[in-house]
Amino acid sequence: MIKFETGNLRVPKWTRPVYMVAAGTSDFRKRYPEKRLEELCMMAFRMLLEENGLKKSPQEVKGLINFCAYGEFADHFQDQLLCESKVHDYLGLQPLPNIGVKTGGATGGSTILAGAQSIASGYSDCTLVLGWERMDEVKTWTGNYYIASAACKDFETRLARNYASYYAPMARRFGEMYNVDERVRASIAVKNRGYATNSPYAQQSGHHTIDEVLAGDIVSDPLRFLECCAMSVGSAAVLLCSEEVAYSLTDHPVKLSIAGGTDSLRCGDRRHMRIPLLPNETEEQYAWLYKEMEKWDGRWPGFESFCAARFAAYMVYRMAGIHEPLEDLDLVETHDAFTISDLQTYGDVGLTPYGREQDYVTSGECYLVNPHTGKQGKCPANLSGGLLGTMHAVGATGIFQAMEILWQLQGKYDWFHGREELWQRYGKTKPADWQSLQVKNPRRGLAISHAGVGSHVTCAVLEKAW
Amino acid sequence: MSKNSNIQMAPSAITEEKGVWILHNPRFGPEGTHFHTYGQLTPYFKGLTEGRLLGTRCTNPQCPIDNGADNLWIPPRMDCPDCHMPMTWQEAPTLAGYVYAYTKVERGGTGLEIPCPYFQVDVKLDGVATIIKSWLSGGTDSPIKIGTKVHAAFQTGAQATHTNLDLYWVRA
């Protein structure tokens, strides 16, 4: 669909508000032979029940659950159909109803969307949203082939069997059209992997330099290894509630708005369309961009932008009353599977106008501490460490991102990242240079969950409700 | 094994049933083969093996997008996504295009049939609505850029793999 009618642009409306109150996670590893998948899911569930300071006991909270939404990217990886049943049984939740959700890399976000719908509709007062992925049963390059099965098998998969090669042409087009310095892309890897050094859950944290990133081996040019996320094993969970249940469990619930968008699986099938405008944008503002596209035989969204992300942002900002994203949002988690997807997304979600994404990153506003001003950035990105630094256990990823925003809004970054006991739990030593990445007084955060080369995206706005 | 494009792939077996090609993808030996139908897109894959590049276009004057004067779709679709009416087969208006985007693939996932490194290319052809993802034969010693002119080439006859790899591009 490249032309909308009025009905297509109806803004979603909950019939009653939806709240997120608690979350839990395992740590994430490249290989995790010590634990079965169900045991990793239990780690996330137990943390959700026991460590969020809820006003009721774990058994009492469990006694409130009406419905479960489970996210898993690929049966290929688990080598198990109906994994939902095994996990549900292991968590001791039968005969409560559950559903499994699959939308590629956006599975986590879509699972939250499904869980939120269960609350908003009145089907449930308390819904467990939990996701996982076990990507270590196969060797890395077979895993890459499995992931590339999420490209079109008739026309794309055989052309690399590696997803980086589907993002790399986007990086090429984006880079040339907007004259992007590759050091800016590399700085995203440095930032996110650096933030991950403060997370006990992180799989591939590290203090790197831009030169180190650029000197790394190429996966699919221009993308280097440190610009690509790795495969992970782990699980993450959040608890969604009605208003009444939310306040019975915590004095610090977070209000949730979430919306989705899609685009064709094959990037090359995306024909030109007009940009759906966010509340703070005007048609005139993009006159220059349409002209610039003519020079490049370009199109919107083309290879440079994600219509699915723009559509999801278009909807969720109207649901949540966001008018000026950069002013109204205090932090964001982007789907930085590759440095380029992080960079592209800033325009899609309106943290900067299209075409100015590079300037936005160099402005420093996406850092916790803006390197130019020494003050807090306007909208720090991926303080969790993101996919580049912390994890991409695909079915869990979007849930993990929302979890990190929840804890930031609740002021719990230190509790969930800084305790010595947590680091020890995962066999790690808390770094001597550990830093709190708690944002000062955040009000709202944005979590973006993203699939394919932008085939599915959800955008979730989480807002303090106290 | 193909001789003219260096692909590391024996031709995939196909069977024809009710006029369509069914590709055999063995996973666990003969008993564990996936039988994947090309369905109504069979003319496209068959066309590649004959050195022809076919697409489809909507000719419905009531179509809300371009009133049936829309450009060709490659990969083809049998039904128009805009008006849902059947599309019409047509040969590509040209086999000469340019590189719209590209990457040099240094390493691919398990089972990759194209020897690395190679250029994966997204090719724009005049008169075609879509941008065709494919690969460039001829190695990577000579660099390419956005705008590099290329020409379609095909693996035909006994060299055909019966997959989308039967279409590739060479520098013009």
Q: How confident is the model at residue B1 (pLDDT cuts 50, 70, 90)?
A: very low
Which phi and psi (to 5°) does residue A130 adopt? -140, 140
| β-pair partners for A100 | A70
Residue B20 in contact with partner chain A when CB distance is under 8 A: no
Instruction: Give the pLDDT confidence of B33-79 residue by residue, as tens digits.
Output: 999 999 999 999 999 999 999 999 999 999 999 887 778 999 999 99
* Burial of B8: CB neighbours in 10 Å, binned 0-12, 13-18, 19+: exposed
> HEC string of B12-75?
CCEEEECCEEEEEEECCCHHHEEEEECHHHHHHHHHHHCCCCEEEECCCCCCCCHHHCCCEECC
- Provide the number of CB pairs (under 8 Å) joining chain A to chain B: 122
Instruction: Give the pLDDT confidence of B3-19 residue by residue, as tens digits.
Output: 456 777 777 889 999 99
ipTM of the complex as predicted = 0.95
Is the peptide bond prior to A222 cis by the omega test (within 30 degrees of 0)? yes
Instruction: Give the pLDDT confidence of A10-45 residue by residue, as tens digits.
Output: 999 999 999 999 999 999 999 999 999 999 999 999
Instruction: Return contacts of B65-71, CB within 8 angstroms, 24+ apart.
Output: B65/A2, B65/A3, B70/B129, B71/B127, B71/B128, B71/B129
Of the candidates A181, A101, A36, the one whose C-alpha atom is nearest the C-alpha of residue A451 is A101
Q: Which chain A residues contact residue B100 at CB under 8 A?
A: 173, 297, 303
Q: Which chain B residues contact residue A303 at CB under 8 A?
A: 100-101, 122, 131
Copy the structure tokens of residue B84.
Answer: 């849902």
Cα(A136)–Cα(A233) distance, rounded to whole angstroms?
7
Please name the helix (run of DSSP H) or strand (run of DSSP E) that holds residue B150, with its range, or none. strand B149-154
Residues A104-121 have a mean pLDDT of 98
Q: Which positions ≥6 away from A161 have C-beta within 8 Å? A: A144, A145, A148, B108, B109, B110, B111, B112
Q: How confident is the model at residue A297 (pLDDT cuts 50, 70, 90)?
A: very high
- The percent helix, strand, coil of chain B (3-state, each to 5) is 15, 35, 50
Of the candidates A224, A260, A294, A284, the one whose C-alpha atom is nearest the C-alpha of residue A454 is A260
Instruction: Give the pLDDT confidence of A316-355 residue by residue, as tens digits.
Output: 999 999 999 999 999 999 999 999 999 999 999 999 999 9
Residue B13 vs residues A82, A277, B10, B163: alpha-carbon distances, Å: 32, 49, 9, 10
pTM of the predicted structure, to 2 decimals = 0.97
Inter-chain residue contact B103 with A139, CB threshold 8 Å: no
Q: Which chain B residues contact residue A268 at CB under 8 A?
A: 122, 130-133
Residue A188 has pLDDT above 60, yes or no: yes
Residues A254-277 have a mean pLDDT of 97
Minimal Cβ distance to B135: which of A159, A172, A303:
A159
- A207 to chain B nearest CA, in Å? 26
Of the candidates A304, A338, A306, the one whose C-alpha atom is nearest the C-alpha of residue A165 is A338
Amino acid at B77: R
